[in-house]
Copies of this chain bind each other. A is one copy, B any other.
Amino acid sequence: MSSAKGILFRYAAVLDAIASSPNGLSLTETMHATGLPRGTVHRLLASLHDVGYLATLDNRKIYVLGPRLAKLLHLGASPKSVDAAVKPLLDGLVERLGETAFVARLSGDRVESLATSVPNREGQAHVHPGRDMPIHAAASAKAIFAFQEPSLIERALKRKRIRYTDDTRVDARQVRDDLEAVRRKGYAVCSNELDPGVLSYAVPVNVAGAGVLYSVGVVGLSARLERYEEAQLALELRAAADSISARLSGG
């Protein structure tokens, strides 16, 4: 109504109108909801659609909130809330596998551990929440980076890569190969690359239309984790990932 300041207020008004109508709005409905003239609404909707803040339902002219907004909020969400949302699932994994389970999230051009669940027999976790997971030596990071834009991967590769153990693969080409392998297999493995004697698996978590923003995995002493078949672990983790995806998106 009182459209005094900038264009953003109009965009925001349109987004508000559409957000509060779960079934979407047509151009004319948006027009009535906002009180803006026809031509204007048409242009605003088109722009919002172009940047991905709106999507069209089916292929009709009905507009709903777009995937890019969801992505914004996932990336911006506080670790606490994500932790709360995935904790029960991680606990389930721990119970079934008897190993530490974790969820990591993409954060700019880094990946950080967000939540972990530790078997109670164990004193210390190998993955503390908040820890920065390096692209070249952490399954959690590989599972995420493998499905990012090449430009983002390259930005991540710009950073110094520490040789944590003798098995750490620091060469950029090797890392790119690893990511390719992850894409092919659908999950990532890190053996003795970050912490000595530690093995870890991770699978990507796809969020609605926003792509891969999280990963979920397990980590533990190689000697113990090796008792599982890779395929079996991958299956377990994939199920967990789907569940997380459903919980965080709107499956």
Q: How many copies does the complex hold?
A: 2
Given A20-B107, A84-B247, A5 and B76 touching (CB < 8 A)?
Answer: no
> What's the interface size class on A, roughly?
35 or more
- Please determine whether A84 and B246 come into contact, CB atoms closer than 8 angstroms: yes
A residues 65-117 near B (Cβ < 8 Å) are 65, 68-73, 75-81, 84-85, 88, 106-109
- Please determine whether A81 and B47 come into contact, CB atoms closer than 8 angstroms: no
Chain B hits for A80, CB < 8 A: 246, 250-251
In-complex Cβ contact of A65 among B11, B72, B246 (8 A): B72
Chain B nearest CB from A65 CB (Å) reads 4
Closest to A7 in B: B7
Chain B hits for A21, CB < 8 A: 107-108
- Please determine whether B88 and A9 come into contact, CB atoms closer than 8 angstroms: no
| Stretch of A48-56, A136-144, A220-228 at the chain-chain interface | A48-56
- Please determine whether B12 and A81 come into contact, CB atoms closer than 8 angstroms: no
In-complex Cβ contact of A69 among B5, B18, B69 (8 A): B69
Q: Is A6 an interface residue (CB 8 A)?
A: yes
Closest to A74 in B: B19
In-complex Cβ contact of A12 among B68, B70, B246 (8 A): B68
Q: Is A123 an interface residue (CB 8 A)?
A: no
Chain B nearest CB from A18 CB (Å) reads 8
Q: Is A236 an interface residue (CB 8 A)?
A: no
Bound Cα distance from A80 to B79, whole angstroms: 22
In-complex Cβ contact of A81 among B20, B76, B81, B246 (8 A): B246
Q: Is A189 an interface residue (CB 8 A)?
A: no
- Please determine whether B8 and A85 come into contact, CB atoms closer than 8 angstroms: no
- Please determine whether A76 and B22 come into contact, CB atoms closer than 8 angstroms: yes
Top-9 shortest CB links A-B: A78-B250, A65-B76, A20-B108, A81-B250, A19-B75, A19-B76, A12-B51, A73-B73, A84-B247
